[in-house]
Amino acid sequence: MNNMIARAKELLERKTVQVVIGYEEGPTGVARPAFVTNPSGADVLIYDNRCVQNLAVYLTKPEVKRLGRMAIVATLPVIRSIMMLISELQITSDDIVVLGISADGSLLDIADIDVMQGFIEKSDLTNPSKDKELLADLNKLTPEQRLAYWQKELSKCIKCYACRQSCPMCYCIRCTVEVNQPQWIPVQANIQGNMEWHILRAMHLAGRCVSCGECGRACPVGIPCHLLTMQLVDQVHNYFKVYAGTSDNMKSVLSTYEPNDKESFII
């Protein structure tokens, strides 16, 4: 912890970066993102088991980018998101300094691409264990039961798009749902519109989701929508033997053709 504050101060003092993106404690005791722009402000930084938000979402936000070069406190999902954002040409490794955090909470060396890649290679890239259990339960259901489950869950959706906004990989300046001539996805929060939205979102994240679970955590009405993208994490791995965010030069799984691709899903 003290290490992280010291590292943040040093980076800001030397003007290596203009902002450090980390976590601080809010007035109600929850951990939330912090944007530290001067060395004296770095003391607010915390890191403990409350610090779960995927901070990589801020790397593409215009007003954060405007502050200058960024350092970011990065756990495994954040590092994987960074790899994806570099692969998809949204950021370059020169834009950022990565303050990697290992699984035991200790600070990694300032992570360049090689350090991040080495860290990723040693890490478990499958879905978090509690989500694996939830998915296993869902996969035991018949397709009809599963449809009923999702219809019930998605009927709660209010279309606030917290799932999209909290996701580092949903960086489009104009989302498909905002294209309204013609309107592809109904604007209203009804069961048809909600189903279409969540299926579309999940498909756009196939091969890109890093299993951070942020979308499900962000949902104000408690829809476990992260299970949709996590199911695709498993399927993509099953078909293509790929996990997202493992290098800075990932090919897009669903838009890249390889002669040896499995075609077992084509009827």
Partner 1 sequence: MEATRKLIRKQSLEKLYNNLSADRKIYAPVISTDKQVEFRYNPAFADVTFEHVRSTLSVKNVVFPKVENLFYYTNEKTESTISVLDLNKIPEVVLWGAHPCDTASVDVLRSIFCWDIKDEFFAKRLEKLAVIGLGCHLSDEYCFCTSVGIAPDSRKGSDIFLFRLQNGDYQAEILTRKGNDIVASAPELFEPVSGEKVLLTEVKQKFDHSQVTEKLAGAFENPFWVENSLRCIGCGACAYVCPTCACFDIQDETKGKNGRRYRSWDSCGFGLFTLHTSGHNPRSVQSQRWRQRIMHKFSYMPERNDSLGCVGCGRCSSGCPVDMNIAEQLEALQNI
Binding residues (CB under 8 A) for partner 1: these are 26-30, 32-35, 53, 57-58, 61-64, 158-162, 164-166, 173-174, 178, 183, 186-190, 214, 217-218, 220-222
Closer by beta carbon to partner 1, 54 or else 246: 54
Closer by beta carbon to partner 1, 204 or else 240: 204
What number of other Cβ atoms are within 10 A of residue 14's Cβ?
9
Instruction: Compute the least distance from the CB of residue 246 to partner 1, in Å.
Output: 25
Closer by beta carbon to partner 1, 34 or else 169: 34
Show the tokens assigned to 147: 């449809």
Residue with structure tokens 């060396």?
A: 109
C-alpha 194/C-alpha 203 separation (Å) is 14
Instruction: Compute the least distance from the CB of residue 220 to partner 1, in Å.
Output: 4
Show the tokens assigned to 128: 């978090």
Instruction: Compute the least distance from the CB of residue 85 to partner 1, in Å.
Output: 16
Instruction: Compute the least distance from the CB of residue 221 to partner 1, in Å.
Output: 6
Strand 19-25 to 70-74 pairing: parallel
Instruction: Compute the least distance from the CB of residue 170 to partner 1, in Å.
Output: 10
SS (H, E, C) the chain: CHHHHHHHHHHHHCCCCCEEEEEEECCCCCEEEEEECCHHHHHHCECCCCCCCCHHHHHHCHHHHCCCCEEEEECHHHHHHHHHHHHCCCCCHHHEEEEEECCCCCEEEEECHHHHHHHHHCCCCCCCHHHHHHHHHHHHCCHHHHHHHHHHHHCCCCCCCHHHHCCCCCCCCCCHHHCECCECCCCCCCHHHHHHHHHHHHHHCCCCCCCCCHHHHHCCCCCCCHHHHHHHHHHHHHHHCCCCCCCCCCCCHHHCCCCCCCCCCCC
Closer by beta carbon to partner 1, 76 or else 223: 223
Closer by beta carbon to partner 1, 61 or else 251: 61
Closer by beta carbon to partner 1, 202 or else 215: 215
Instruction: Compute the least distance from the CB of residue 149 to partner 1, in Å.
Output: 12
Closer by beta carbon to partner 1, 58 or else 243: 58
Instruction: Compute the least distance from the CB of residue 158 to partner 1, in Å.
Output: 5
